[in-house]
Amino acid sequence: MQDVRTTQRAAAGQVAAGWRTSLEAMRGERAHPVEAGRWLGGPRTLLYALGVQQLELKLTAGLAWLLRPDGHHRLGSRVLAGMLTELGVPYEGDELSDAVVVVEETRLDDAEREMRADLVVYARSWTVVVEAKVHAGEQHEQLERLHSLWGDDPGPFFVFLTRGRRTPLSAGPGAGDWHNVTWGRIAAIAREATHGRQPAPGVCDFIETVEVFHHD
């Protein structure tokens, strides 16, 4: 009996030694693609690593950065032009370079209640007002109040920016003036704008983050 147990232990030891040898070989094989950047793990984008990939305010700020014609993204007015084309906004070339992008702008309604627009782009003959949503729902009369406060600006266009298509629920009588645009579509517009350009690194990270987490 003792001889059988000794034989079994020896056999098990040989198997364990073989596994250790195999594991060491696999570690060695893995090291090369890791060093070459072909074996990837962890957060896929910097925005994901920073934990802001789902934060509405951060993503809206990133979009505002891309829409600014003179921004350090190095895309000029390409993203803005793409969004205007998507919305059917008629514009003249010189309007793009002069456009002003504002985030978190507030106005007071007739009852002295403060209302905030997530993002507004101002130009000579048009105004684009964006209400952005990631996971949050609409507040009571939210879109209707935005429409009322910015409806008298030059050529107003109202954008309901969401994950996937969503019907506005708080737009009231002006519901027909709201254009539903998805984050996925914004990513596609931004990616198209990079063609033939060398954008700042943050541009590609923003686009990939939206494509991964907020695709249609």
Tens-digit pLDDT profile for residues 143-176: 999 999 999 999 999 999 999 999 999 999 999 9
> Mean pLDDT lowest for which of 11-20, 91-100, 172-181, 201-210?
11-20
User: Under DSSP, is residue 45 helix (H, G, I), strand (E, B) or coil?
Assistant: coil
State percent of the chain over pLDDT 70. 82
Q: Residue 147: its pLDDT value, please?
A: 97
Contact between residue 178 and residue 146 where contact means Cβ atoms under 8 Å apart: no
- What pLDDT score does 30 carry? 55
DSSP state of 120: E
Task: Return d(Cα 202, Cα 120) in angstroms, integer.
Answer: 22
Whether 193 contacts 78, CB under 8 Å: yes
- 51 in the Ramachandran plot: left (φ > 0), alpha (ψ -120 to 50) or beta? left
At 36, the pLDDT band (50, 70, 90 cuts) reads low
Terminal CA-CA length for the chain: 67
How far apart CA 187 and CA 47 sit, in angstroms, is: 15
pLDDT digits (tens, 9 = 90+) for 174-209: 999 999 999 999 999 999 999 999 999 999 999 999
Q: Output the furthest CA–CA distance in the chain (Å, rounded).
A: 96
Residues 6+ apart with CB under 8 A from 164: 182, 184, 216
Measured between alpha carbons, how far is 145 from 165 in angstroms, rounded to an integer? Answer: 21
